[in-house]
């Protein structure tokens, strides 16, 4: 168990290390050279140096026994430094996950202890040239080697694609088909018949080594089959999806904030049309504040999901998918807006936001693409909708109406409008069988993610008002700031759910012309329009908070 003090110390060491060893010039140079700084990655994973990986290794194997919440905080911080290096460190987290979840006690002792004590680097080998989103298409095989009627080992053959740390890891977890189905194997570097390609020439995360692997009859002893039972591989992978997707969500969050934290100070110094850009609404209210709102909505969902995983609520795969989807999409939007915010300078290498934008692009692709996240979210919540006869989101909305009664400023009433609208759109989709169109199913996934994040952020703002937020939670904004951010995001979410929900219902022929006005009212579109009142003053307020002007405004008002 890691205390808040230890966590804060680890974050501080990480920041200081980055400041010293990874200044912008070094990062830009490595990015230009397309080079993975292996010495840095090893330093970060070395137990006698930074020892980041100790955080997630259980105490019984020499680690610090960090929980999901701790690992999220570290992942966000790493992403703020460099997403390529963060990916290299994460590869060891991911690579050892099948072991943490599914290995025998002996295997855990060997491999997790080696990660803790020797700082060995892992790679996670699931994807193949023909099997990306659809891992069921896996072709790598593990053939049993039998001696005296007993399985003594396996011969693994196949190809893996896009493997982070592929060319630099000490050990690999490789997914392969055994006669009983997909299974994880641990393969060490240098095994006979095991090779990797040259690193890929990538769009971003150029400081991370990504390489294809080839396995040609690679022999491993039977004790390298994770868990000792064949056919458990996909279950073991799924058991940690909630957790691993939260880590990538934290990457999107950290990278998005890292870009905004360059744009915000830049805009205070850049004078155009007689004043700093930070004073211009057309700038802050388009490029900065909405991105802050989306990132903080995603943060809220990440933190809640991390707390629930740590409380033992299960793997929470759907919640992990919502967190990843929202945070990585928001991170991409924030980085793109930051390029715009720096104008021509933003488009050059020197100012870093261009690199961050290229880097953060990967987060909507690896660990499950955004489209796969949309599908995962939609399919799961669709079942909830059916099981509750369409009441799932109406019931949730009632909880937010109750929250609004206690905390009238946190946007819970608007989050409730989003949920009622969602319930009505989903019910209409059911009545008219609209989800037979895959596009509609996936768009519903997006709307669900927005509505749930609006609720989560309103809950977070209420907790902040009560001073009951998790002690490890990010506290960049005070209660008034967070409440304003929550109202901004809830308005966006509610309008999106209602307007786009209607768009797809109408677009697939779910309503006749005559039925449209009544359905608009039923889904709450007029109420959602009315809830936009106050939007500009909330945008003004959050801009003031971000630029340190809020206190002055309060003073002036007094
Ligand atoms: C830099 C990098 C590092 C990576 N690191 C690792 C690693 O360490 N280990 C590892 O195992 N893998 C790794 N990956 C692989 C990554 O997880 C996959 O690229 C990802 O899962 C997508 O698979 P794919 O590339 O085959 O794309 P595809 O699955 O072919 O998808 C292509 C497009 O089609 C969409 N699509 C796919 N299926 C559907 C569907 N049913 N309906 C609608 N749309 C669909 C996708 O959303 C995507 O937009 C890495 C990839 C990259 C680029």
Q: Which of 203, 163, 207, 199 is nearest to 36 (CA)?
A: 207
Q: Which of 434, 418, 446, 443 is nearest to 525 (CA)?
A: 418
Compute the half-sphere exposure of residue 326: CA atoms within 13 Å on the CB side of its CA.
35
Q: Helix or strand or coil: residue 160?
A: strand
Distance 477 CA to ligand 1 centre (A): 35
Question: Closest residue (by CA) to atom 27 of ligand 1?
Answer: 132
Q: Which of 263, 333, 279 is nearest to 544 (CA)?
A: 279
pLDDT band, very low/low/confident/very high, at 555 (cuts 50, 70, 90): confident
| Rounded Cα–Cα distance for residues 390 and 475 (Å) | 36
pLDDT tens-digit readout, 200-228: 999 999 999 999 999 999 999 999 999 99
Q: Which of 365, 376, 442 to mutate for ligand 1's pocket (most ligand atoms within 8 Å of CB)?
A: 365
Average pLDDT value for the chain? 96
369 in contact with ligand 1, CB cutoff 6 A: yes
Closest atom, ligand 1, to C-alpha of 126: 11
Q: Helix or strand or coil: residue 433?
A: coil
Q: Which of 85, 369, 435 to mutate for ligand 1's pocket (most ligand atoms within 8 Å of CB)?
A: 369
In angstroms, how far is the first alpha carbon of the chain from the final one? 46
91 in contact with ligand 1, CB cutoff 6 A: yes
pLDDT band, very low/low/confident/very high, at 59 (cuts 50, 70, 90): very high
- What's the pLDDT at 163? 98
| Rounded Cα–Cα distance for residues 184 and 130 (Å) | 18
Residue 20 has pLDDT above 90, yes or no: yes
8-state DSSP, 240: T
457 burial level (CB within 10 Å; 0-12, 13-18, 19+): buried
Residue 1 has pLDDT above 90, yes or no: no
124 in contact with ligand 1, CB cutoff 6 A: yes
What number is the average pLDDT over the span 535-546? 98
In degrees, rounded to 5, the angle at the alpha carbon of residue 218 between the alpha carbons of residues 215 and 220 is 135
135 in contact with ligand 1, CB cutoff 6 A: no
Question: Closest residue (by CA) to atom 31 of ligand 1?
Answer: 133
Residue 551 has pLDDT above 90, yes or no: no
142 in contact with ligand 1, CB cutoff 6 A: no
291 in contact with ligand 1, CB cutoff 6 A: no
Q: Helix or strand or coil: residue 386?
A: helix
What number is the average pLDDT over the span 479-499? 98
Q: What is the DSSP string of 10-66?
A: HHHHHHHHHHHH--HHHHHHHHHHT---HHHHHHHH-TTTT-GGGGTS-GGGTS---
Q: Which of 98, 158, 162 to mutate for ligand 1's pocket (most ligand atoms within 8 Å of CB)?
A: 162
- What's the pLDDT at 368? 96
Residue 556 has pLDDT above 90, yes or no: no
Owner of token pair 């060997």: 110
Q: What percent of the chain has pLDDT over 90?
A: 96
38 in contact with ligand 1, CB cutoff 6 A: no
Residue 360 has pLDDT above 80, yes or no: yes
- What's the pLDDT at 240? 86
What are the phi and psi torsion angles at 328 (to 5°)? -75, -35
- What's the pLDDT at 523? 97
Q: Longest Cα pair distance anywhere in the chain, in angstroms?
A: 88
65 in contact with ligand 1, CB cutoff 6 A: no
Residue 190 has pLDDT above 90, yes or no: yes
In terms of phi and psi (left: phi > 0; alpha: psi -120 to 50; beta: otherwise), the region of 374 is alpha
What number is the average pLDDT over the span 123-132? 97
What number is the average pLDDT over the span 253-274? 98
- What's the pLDDT at 56? 87
379 in contact with ligand 1, CB cutoff 6 A: no
CA-to-CA separations, 205 to 72, 165, 171, 199, 357, in angstroms, rounded:
19, 12, 21, 12, 10
Question: Closest residue (by CA) to atom 37 of ligand 1?
Answer: 133
Q: Which of 339, 336, 358 is nearest to 347 (CA)?
A: 339
What number is the average pLDDT over the span 478-507? 97
Q: What percent of the chain has pLDDT over 70?
A: 99
Closest atom, ligand 1, to C-alpha of 134: 29
Residue 506 has pLDDT above 90, yes or no: yes
Q: Which of 83, 86, 127 to mutate for ligand 1's pocket (most ligand atoms within 8 Å of CB)?
A: 127
What number is the average pLDDT over the span 250-260? 98
Are the beta carbons of 51 and 66 closer than 8 angstroms? no
pLDDT tens-digit readout, 148-186: 999 999 999 999 999 999 999 999 999 999 999 999 999
Distance 128 CA to ligand 1 centre (A): 9
pLDDT band, very low/low/confident/very high, at 552 (cuts 50, 70, 90): confident
237 in contact with ligand 1, CB cutoff 6 A: no
pLDDT band, very low/low/confident/very high, at 414 (cuts 50, 70, 90): very high
Strands (E), 179-318: 181-188, 194-196, 210-221, 271-272, 275-276
527 burial level (CB within 10 Å; 0-12, 13-18, 19+): middle
Distance 240 CA to ligand 1 centre (A): 18
């Amino acid at each position: 168990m890691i205390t808040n003090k230890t966590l804060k110390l680890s974050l501080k060491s990480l920041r200081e290390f980055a400041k010293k060893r990874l200044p912008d010039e070094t990062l830009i140079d490595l990015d230009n050279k397309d080079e993975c700084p292996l010495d840095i990655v090893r330093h970060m994973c070395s137990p006698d140096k930074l020892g980041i990986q100790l955080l997630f290794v259980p105490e019984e194997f020499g680690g610090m026994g960090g929980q999901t919440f701790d690992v999220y905080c570290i992942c966000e911080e790493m992403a703020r430094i460099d997403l390529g290096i963060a990916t290299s460190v994460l590869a060891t987290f991911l690579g050892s996950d099948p072991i943490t979840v599914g290995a025998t006690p002996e295997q855990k002792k060997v491999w997790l202890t080696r990660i803790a004590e020797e700082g060995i680097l892992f790679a996670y080998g699931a994807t193949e040239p023909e099997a990306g989103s659809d891992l069921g298409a896996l072709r790598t095989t593990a053939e049993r080697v039998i001696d005296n009627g007993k399985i003594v080992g396996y011969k693994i053959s196949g190809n893996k694609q896009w493997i982070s740390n592929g060319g630099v890891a000490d050990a690999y977890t490789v997914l392969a088909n055994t006669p009983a189905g997909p299974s994880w194997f641990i393969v060490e570097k240098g095994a006979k018949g095991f090779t990797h390609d040259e690193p890929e020439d990538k769009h971003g995360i150029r400081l991370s080594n990504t390489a294809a692997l080839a396995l040609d009859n690679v022999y491993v002893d039977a004790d390298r089959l994770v868990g000792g039972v064949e056919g458990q591989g996909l279950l073991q992978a799924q058991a940690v999806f909630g957790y691993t997707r939260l880590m990538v969500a934290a990457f999107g969050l950290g990278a998005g904030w890292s870009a905004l934290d360059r744009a915000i100070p830049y805009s205070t110094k850049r004078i155009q049309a007689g004043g700093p850009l930070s004073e211009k609404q057309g700038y802050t209210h388009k490029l900065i504040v909405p991105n802050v709102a989306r990132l903080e909505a995603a943060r809220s969902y990440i933190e809640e999901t991390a707390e629930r995983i740590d409380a033992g609520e299960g793997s929470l795969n759907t919640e992990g998918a919502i967190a990843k989807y929202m945070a990585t999409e928001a991170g991409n939007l924030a980085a793109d807006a930051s390029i715009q915010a720096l104008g021509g300078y933003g488009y050059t290498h020197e100012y870093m936001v261009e690199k961050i934008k290229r880097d953060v692009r990967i987060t909507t692709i690896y660990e499950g693409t955004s489209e796969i996240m949309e599908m995962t979210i939609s399919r799961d919540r669709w079942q909830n909708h059916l099981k509750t006869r369409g009441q799932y989101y109406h019931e949730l909305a009632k909880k937010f109406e109750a929250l609004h009664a206690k905390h009238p400023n946190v946007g819970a009433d608007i989050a409730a409008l989003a949920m009622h609208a969602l319930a009505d759109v989903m019910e209409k989709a059911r009545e008219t069988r609209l989800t037979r169109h895959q596009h509609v199913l996936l768009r519903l996934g997006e709307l669900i993610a927005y509505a749930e994040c609006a609720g989560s952020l309103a809950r977070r703002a209420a907790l902040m008002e009560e001073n009951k937020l998790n002690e490890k939670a990010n506290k960049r904004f005070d209660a008034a700031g967070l409440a304003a951010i929550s109202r901004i995001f809830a308005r966006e979410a509610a309008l999106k759910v209602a307007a786009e929900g209607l768009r797809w219902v109408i677009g697939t022929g779910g309503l006749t012309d005559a039925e449209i006005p009544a359905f608009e009212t039923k889904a709450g579109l007029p109420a959602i329009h009315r809830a936009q009142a106050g939007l500009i003053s909330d945008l003004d307020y959050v801009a003031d908070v971000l630029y340190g002007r809020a206190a002055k405004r309060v003073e002036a008002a007094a």
